[in-house]
Amino acid sequence: MDKYEALSYCGVYCGNCGNYKQNLNCLGCRNEPSMVDDCPTRTCAIERKLLHCGECDDFPCTVLNDFYNDGNPKRLAAFYNMREIIETGADKWLAGQSE
């Protein structure tokens, strides 16, 4: 298990998702490329060899701004997660999420 598998590239915390936690139909975007192959943030982060979008000099880019501000509260929460990840680091943030 990759220690970052519960961290999506955009800041969504997979550990809060029932489908991920119960391994019903999702192993997270790091392990399920066929389920999210149309995700522009995933593709971009992989191409740039980033752990997450917060490592990018262009954060938040227009693609992420559209994603975070589309009216879905979970996506807006991902923005705040990413801000915290940038400030505290992915390891510390993930440790706090799993508690």
Helix (H, G, I), strand (E, B) or coil at 7: strand
pLDDT at 92 over 70: yes
Mean pLDDT throughout 71-76?
88
Residues with Cβ within 8 Å of residue 61, at least 6 apart in sequence: 44, 53
Residue 45's CB is within 10 A of a number of other CB atoms, namely 22
Q: pTM of the entire structure?
A: 0.82
Q: What's residue 55's pLDDT?
A: 95
DSSP symbol at 99: -
d(CA 32, CA 66): 23
Positive or negative, the Cα torsion across 60, 25, 17, 5?
negative
pLDDT at 58 over 90: yes
Domain locations in the chain as residue ranges: 14-98
